[in-house]
Structure 1
C-alpha cells in the first residue's frame, strides 16, 4: 500500500456528501475492502451481490449517478490511477456495453474496489467479482475452476447487453416491450454528461490526468448521444436483449437444474438475475410474461429469493426505483 493510494482514496471519499458505512463484520481491526458504488448501478449491484454472498465486510462509499458524483475530480483521479496501472486504454466510444474488455476503461463510472491488504484498486465489475471470488475462503466458489470457461461465457453475454440504452432510451414498441419509466431521455442524459466534462475540462486546464480522463469520457458520451438512441438503434438493442432471454430460456430448459450450472448458485446466476431484474424494473418483463418464456420467469422468481440478490439489490435502498 502506498501513500499515493491512501491519499487518492481519502480525497475521493472527502468529496462525497454521503458518509462512509461499514457493511458486514470484518475479521480484523478494519475491513479489507472499500467500495465506491451507486445504489442503482447495475455493475455496482453485481459486486455487492458477490460481497454479500461471500459475507465479505467492506467500507461503503455510496455515490449518486444523477448528482454527477462519478465525475468528481478526485474520484476520476482514483479511477485513472487504476486505468493507468493496468495499462488499459480509455474508453472514447460508447458501445452500449459496460464491459472494459469491449469498451475500454471509463474514468467516471462505478464500481471501484480498493483492496487495502494488497494495496491496489480494482475496476470493472466482472474483474472485481472474479477477484473477490478468488480471494474467498468459502469452500463453494461462485466461479469454480472446472466451470470458469462456461461461466465466463455467460458473464460476457450479460455484460454485452444494452442496459444503458434500455434504461434511458425510447422504447421502440411499448405494446411489445413495455415502457421504461425514463424512456426517451437518452440523448439529454448523455449530453448532460458531456456538459459535466466540459465544466471540469475548463476548471482543470493544466491537470494532465484529468484532461485525459474527461476528454475520453466526453467523447464516449457524445458518441452515445449521436448513435445509441435512434429508433433503429433502440429496436436493435431490444431485439438483442430479447434474443438473449430466448437463449437463456433454451439453456434453462435443456439443463433442467435449479441454477445455470446445477444446484448451486454461480456468478453467472448473479449476473443474469441482476440483469433480468433491471429489465423487469424497466417494464421489459414482457420478454417472459404470460407464459412466453416460462423457464426464465421461474428463474427470476427463484433469483428474487436468493440472499445475495435480496441484500445487494431488492433490499438495498435506492437500488430499485
Structure 2
C-alpha cells in the first residue's frame, strides 16, 4: 500500500488510526468544519497549554484526545501501540516538523522543550491548520499561532515589542522547565509523587521502547519511520537513565527551586495580579499549568515560604480555562492527594 505524502492524505491517515470515535469531536459552535484540528492528551502538560489557549480565545476546533500509552490485554489480547506512536500520526508530525529545522531529540535533560532537546516525532500535541495547510508540532509555537490567527478582545501575546518580549521570556522559562524529569523521576530522598504515578513510572520507559521496537519491526521498509522510532528509543533510554540517577534527580530539584525563586522575584517587581503586569497573558497560562503540575506532584513545598507565588498560583487555579482544561479535565488527569483542596 502506498504511503500518503500530501497534506490532506497525511491528515486523513492520522485520523484513521484513532481507536475510539467518542474521543474525536468538535469543541465549540463552529457552523462548518473548524479551521483547526488538535491531536492531544489529557495529562500531557504541553497539550494542556494548547487547550487552555483555545478556551481563552473561544476557538472552535476538532479534538482528537489520544491514548498515549501502549496496551496489551487491556481492551484485547492484541498489542495496541500508543496512538501517538502509530505510523500515520508520526508521518504527519514529521511533515510538520520539517519547518522547525531541528534534528530529532535523542537525549534527555529533563525538559520537553524543542528548542533545547530537539524534535520528538512521537509526542503530543499537534495542530492542523486547514486554512493554511500547515501542521504545527511544538506547543509553544502552537499557542503563538492560535493567538495570532484569532484576534479578539483577549490578546495573549501583546503587540507592543517590550511587552511581547516580557511575555515570551516567561513562556521560554516554563518551556524549558524540567517537567518530565519531576514526573518520571525517582528522587532518592524525597519522592512525593502520588503512589499511582510511581507505579506507572517504574517501567514506563521499557514499555515505550518495547512498543517502538515492535513498530520498527512492522514498518522496516519505511526508513523515515524507522529513523523516527529509533530516535525515540534513544530519547526514552536517556530519560530512563535520568529518572533513576540519584544525583541528577537532586540536581533537578535544585533547578526547580531556582525557577520558583526567579518567579518570586518577578512577581515582586510590581503589584499587578499577573506575572507580566495588569493584563492576563500567555505567560500566565503556561505558569498556571506549570505550577499546578508541580503542586499535583507534591512539590508545592518549593513555594512554602513564598506567599507571592502561593497567592499567584491560587489566582491561576481559579481561572475558568485552567479549571476546565487542566484541573477538572475529564480524562485522564487522576486525582492527587496533594491537590485535593483545590478541586
- What's the TM-score, normalizing by structure 2? 0.87
1:1-321 map, 5 Å: 4-19=6-21, 20-26=24-30, 28-67=31-70, 68-146=82-160, 147-174=163-190, 178-181=192-195, 182-183=197-198, 186=201, 188-289=203-304, 292-321=305-334
Please give the alpha-carbon distance, in whole angstroms, between the structure 2 residues aligned to 1:142 and 1:319. Answer: 27
> How has the CA–CA distance of structure 1 residues 41 and 273 changed in structure 2, closer, same or farther, with 3 Å as cutoff?
same
> How has the CA–CA distance of structure 1 residues 86 and 156 changed in structure 2, closer, same or farther, with 3 Å as cutoff?
closer
> How has the CA–CA distance of structure 1 residues 278 and 40 changed in structure 2, closer, same or farther, with 3 Å as cutoff?
same
> How has the CA–CA distance of structure 1 residues 159 and 126 changed in structure 2, closer, same or farther, with 3 Å as cutoff?
same
Helix, strand or coil for the counterpart of 2:6? helix
1:117-152 CA deviation, whole Å, 9 max, x = no partner?
Answer: 111100110000011111121133111122121111
> How has the CA–CA distance of structure 1 residues 167 and 35 changed in structure 2, closer, same or farther, with 3 Å as cutoff?
same
- Verify the 8 A CA contact 1:178 1:286 in the aligned structure 2: no
Helix, strand or coil for the counterpart of 1:84? helix
Structure 2 regions of 5+ residues with no counterpart? Answer: 71-81, 335-343
Helix, strand or coil for the counterpart of 1:43? helix
Please give the alpha-carbon distance, in whole angstroms, between the structure 2 residues aligned to 1:252 and 1:172. Answer: 32
Instruction: Please identify runs of 4+ aligned residues in structure 1 that moved more than 2 A.
Output: 84-88, 171-174, 177-188, 226-229
- What's the TM-score, normalizing by structure 1? 0.93
Tell me how far 1:162 sits from its aligned partner: 1.3
Number of aligned positions between the proteins: 315
- Verify the 8 A CA contact 1:36 1:110 in the aligned structure 2: yes
Please give the alpha-carbon distance, in whole angstroms, between the structure 1 residues aligned to 2:91 and 2:46. Answer: 20
CA RMSD of aligned residues (A): 1.8
Bigger Cα displacement from structure 2, 122-131 vs 161-170: 161-170
Please give the alpha-carbon distance, in whole angstroms, between the structure 1 residues aligned to 2:104 and 2:254. Answer: 29
Please give the alpha-carbon distance, in whole angstroms, between the structure 2 residues aligned to 1:184 and 1:37. Answer: 23
Please give the alpha-carbon distance, in whole angstroms, between the structure 2 residues aligned to 1:275 and 1:14. Answer: 33
Please give the alpha-carbon distance, in whole angstroms, between the structure 2 residues aligned to 1:88 and 1:165. Answer: 22
Structure 1 regions of 5+ residues with no counterpart? Answer: none
Helix, strand or coil for the counterpart of 1:145? coil
Please give the alpha-carbon distance, in whole angstroms, between the structure 1 residues aligned to 2:174 and 2:58. Answer: 24
- Verify the 8 A CA contact 1:281 1:320 in the aligned structure 2: no
Please give the alpha-carbon distance, in whole angstroms, between the structure 1 residues aligned to 2:242 and 2:127. Answer: 31
